[in-house]
Amino acid sequence: MSTASDEELTPAVVRLVATLVAAKRRLARHYLEWCVRGPVLEASTAVSAMAQEEYGQARVLAGLLDEEGLQTGLSLPAPVLQPAPCWISLICLAALFDTAVTEALAAAARYSPSLARRVAKILQEESFHQLFAQQWLQLLGQEAALRPRLLQQVEQLRTPLLSWLEQLDQLLSKAVPARANCSRAAAAWQQGVTDWLRQLAPGDAAPGSHILPEGGS
């Protein structure tokens, strides 16, 4: 189930990596669907690059497993399996789903040398994904007319993603029982989301410029 020659991955870690491979492939598909549909050219360019990076990251992680191992992943949360119908939905996926995957990967890498060697570049790329999502989340939050839709999308993703991360934490605890209480991805991710939401403009803030031209709503 593992192809790593210098480290035999436990079944729990294999299952966790397989889950993250599937998640990154799903993220890449979401970004690819919006690579020519963003509200501005710069956004489309960024999303296109993010799609390529997610596909590349999935390939790197998949290289740790054989075909049997790749089939052992947990199911992804139902909301992330649906296409993003609008730009707000995509940004919420980037802000919540992408960061959830990154948090789980970073936590797992702390206890697996094979993962750690492969994750450094991935985490560097993901720092730009997080910055992109955070900037757009704040920009959308400044629009009084868009803020209710934004918060609705966040809440639709938040609970299922938290439950999913808790399942991944359980897998990591099985893999390294001596450190079962360390590096909880779910708690770190939940705190990060809460911090982001606190930075959003209040609901009665004056709307800014029209940032979602036709086709990017």
Q: What CATH number did the domain enclosing 154 receive? A: 1.20.1260.10
Q: How many separate domains does the chain show?
A: 1
Q: Is residue 115 part of a domain?
A: yes
Residue 165 has pLDDT above 50, yes or no: yes
CB 150 within 8 A of CB 88: yes
Q: Is residue 135 part of a domain?
A: yes
In one letter, which amino acid is 98?
D
Measured between alpha carbons, how far is 137 from 64 in angstroms, rounded to an integer? Answer: 34
Measured between alpha carbons, how far is 207 from 104 in angstroms, rounded to an integer? Answer: 35
Q: Is residue 52 part of a domain?
A: yes
Between the CA of residue 157 and those of 80, 113, 115, what are the distances in Å? Answer: 8, 31, 27
Q: Is residue 117 part of a domain?
A: yes
Q: What is the mean pLDDT of residues 172-201?
A: 77
The count of C-alpha atoms lying within 13 angstroms of the C-alpha of 165, restricted to the half-sphere facing its C-beta, is 27
SS3 for 183?
A: coil
Measured between alpha carbons, how far is 169 from 131 in angstroms, rounded to an integer? Answer: 25
Q: Is residue 213 part of a domain?
A: no
Most confident option among 5-19, 145-159, 189-203: 145-159
Residue 194 has pLDDT above 60, yes or no: yes
Reported pTM: 0.86
Tokens of 72: 């052992």
Give the rounded percent of residues in the chain with a pLDDT score beyond 70. 85
Measured between alpha carbons, how far is 168 from 106 in angstroms, rounded to an integer? Answer: 12
Residue 9 has pLDDT above 90, yes or no: no
**Partners of 65 in beta bridges:** 2
Q: Tens digit of pLDDT for each residue in 17-69?
A: 999 999 999 999 999 999 999 999 999 999 999 999 999 999 999 998 999 99
Give residue 83's domain range: 11-198
Q: Is residue 35 part of a domain?
A: yes
pLDDT band at 204 (very low <50, low <70, confident <90, very high): very low
Q: What's the mean pLDDT when you consider all of the chain?
A: 86
pLDDT at 181: 53
Q: Is residue 212 part of a domain?
A: no
Q: Is residue 205 part of a domain?
A: no
